[in-house]
Chain A
Amino acid sequence: MSAVPFRRLRRSLKSKVDALPLPTPFSIQALCELVAAERRRPIRLMPMARGVEVCGLWVALDETDLIFYEQTTTSHHQQHIILHELSHLLCNHYHSGAPEPDQWRYLLPDLDQGMVRRVLGRTAYTEIEEQEAELLASLIQQRARRLAPLQVAAETNALTGRIKTLLDWSGSGGPERPS
């Protein structure tokens, strides 16, 4: 995606991000619960192991939304993958273009296909729905970070703590954010 459509997309998503109620303290689980309560459809987060081509998958069943996320990666990356799938759900995306991903069949071999309403997977950003979900996930994460309380960089070393007290005579006190 080139710079101009990216900026346009970003502008259009900004209001969506601002309007989204974020739980405090922020956690992906709490956000999923909020969204689920609003939609009156439970959301279930399901870890999946590497082996399928996608690293995240939203499977909309009749009454439940399943969000699969890759397990073999770091926890903040898992959270981003969940946010991406949640963003599909928030944007009410339908699959367009290429055939629907069918990886869910490996993940839920016993599930009756008739129960599956929609499937969207996180692979590449060639389709507008994927770009939108990926950017929305990133923007939600950014907003959540801005709302987070200031992280305190406690001077853990007694010696440098003393130097800091001696050299910082401004009286403004307050902790510094770690860099």
Chain B
Amino acid sequence: MADTLRHYGPAAVAWVLLAYRVSKGRRGAPDPARDTVWLVLLGLSLSLTLLTPAVYAFTGRVSGVPNLARLLGHGSMLVVAWSARTFLWHLNHPITEVQPRTRLHLGFLAATFAAMSVLFVLADTPVDDARFAARYAGDPWVLEYWLVYIAYLTPAFASMAVLGWAYAHMSTAPLLRVGLRLVAIGAFLAIGYNLHKALVFASERFGFSYPPAGHLLIDGVLPMLAHLLVLIGATLPAWGRLVNAPESLAWLSRYRTYQALRPLWRALYAASPHIALTPASPALVELVTVRDLNLRLYRRVIEIRDGRLALMPYLDLDTATAARARAAQAGLSGQALDAAAEAAALHAALHAKALGATAVFGPASHTPGGGDLDSDTVFLRDVARAFHRLERQSHHG
């Protein structure tokens, strides 16, 4: 059952996504990059399908060419790589510049596939076997075939990984952010798998030891996972809303913020227990408590603000200014700088209070923070993270 799922699950997912894509037809303003998305989906689906044991055997039997599905599956991946690169070029260059490049790369693709076909024929692999590597890893031309194949794939996948991650960082839409990160991780894993496979072939050929060879997790699961991550990531912005993904992501983000606020809240609570409406729970209990998250997060933000007010007589303006200068020197700016300075000021004030310093009710100073609840929550999350780092440093120091 697990094996069936591993072999056929990814292909089934791919075709469901592709069918959903087809059902939606052509949408949105005309864009030359649109068709490349199609091709990526189609290429991945074909590649996943050709490498399922049943289709692999069927292709070999019908064509009379053993292991032909392997060559065709890899051909589909070349198309995926070409499409992904074309997609990325379209994002950054006008169509007049993109067209000559894509044509040139189509030429590279054709040359690569031709070279792979020649090496495929040269390699003597008479038994049609979906577990190709286990049988033929050390045979002549198998390594060469693989090196030609990944030489074409790797630059495209590297662009997907690096740019996907960078664009995810730039985006403000949660689904796109997660989707692009999944694509980037998928591309990164694919590069890792391809290099691993090259080492497997090389080790068999040249007789050196390469222990990770033949590991089910790496050989069986990793390529499927890479495929699936790219597929799911690239289509998440389209189907995410059907499964309420934006709400789930927003919930997850609030949960993480709630957990991130804990160290700061805990320290302020220890100094001024009156700020808490309900007493502190152990960290583990908080980690597994999922109900009422909105109310609990709101309470935590309010109680941190109450804790800061209670600490104000111990806040020292000079300490805050010095901490700010240090943070600026370390290259921080904007909200990160404000948060680091505030964390240092609170850390020093808590320390002063614990040492029995005298409370000084001075003139009111500016309170750094966000203009509304959401932005203040984000600000306090950053403060709490910086505060946690300071706590760890002073603990180790």
Q: Does chain B have a CB within 8 A of A92?
A: no
**A177 vs B247: C-alpha distance in the bound complex, in angstroms?**
8
Taking the closest CB of chain B, its distance from the CB of A80, in whole angstroms, is 5
Which of these, A6, A74, A155, contacts B369 with CB under 8 Å?
A74
B27 at the interface (CB under 8 A from A): yes
Complex Cα distance A137/B369, Å? 21
CA distance A50 to B261 in the complex (A): 25
Q: What 0/1 readout, one digit per residue, does chain A (131-161) give for beta carbons within 8 Å of chain B?
A: 1001100110110010000010111110110
Q: Does B123 have its Cβ within 8 Å of any Cβ on chain A?
A: no
How many chain B residues touch the partner (CB < 8 A)?
A: 62
Contact across chains for A138 and B29 when beta carbons are under 8 A apart = no
| Majority secondary structure, A binding face | loop
Q: How large is the interface on A (under 10, 10 to 19, 20 to 34, 35 or more residues)?
A: 35 or more
Return chain B residues, CB-CB under 8 Å to A154. 172
**A73 and B372 in contact, given A178-B172, A178-B174 (Cβ under 8 angstroms):** no
Least CB distance, A106 to chain B, in whole angstroms:
12
In the complex, what residues of B have CB within 8 A of residue A51's CB? 361
A179 adjacent to B361 (CB under 8 Å) = no
B257 — nearest CB in chain A belongs to which residue? A179
Chain B residues with CB below 8 A from A145, complex form: 294, 373
- Does B91 sit within 8 A of A, measured CB to CB? yes
Within 8 A of A (CB), among B355-377: 361, 364-365, 367, 369-374, 376
B235 interface residue, CB < 8 Å from A?
Answer: yes
Map CB proximity to A onto B162-173 as digits: 1 under 8 Å, 0 otherwise. Answer: 000001001111
Q: Collect the chain A residues with CB atoms within 8 Å of residue B374's CB.
A: 151, 178
**A-contacting 9-mer, from B30-38, B70-78, B104-112, B202-210:** B30-38
Q: Which of A72, A166, A178 has the most CB of B within 10 A?
A: A166
Task: Please give the residue numbers on chain B whose beta carbons come within 8 Å of chain A beta carbons, in ascending order.
Answer: 21, 24, 27-29, 31, 33-34, 37, 87, 91-92, 167, 170-176, 179-180, 234-239, 241-242, 246-247, 249-250, 252-253, 274, 276-279, 294-295, 298-299, 302, 305-306, 308-309, 312, 361, 364-365, 367, 369-374, 376
- Given A160-B173, A160-B176, 9 more A-B residue pairs with CB atoms under 8 Å apart are A72-B365, A76-B376, A77-B302, A77-B306, A125-B276, A138-B302, A167-B235, A170-B238, A170-B242
Interface residues, chain A, CB within 8 Å of chain B?
A: 1-3, 6, 49-51, 55, 70-77, 80, 123-126, 131, 134-135, 138-139, 141-142, 145, 151, 153-157, 159-160, 162-172, 174, 176-179
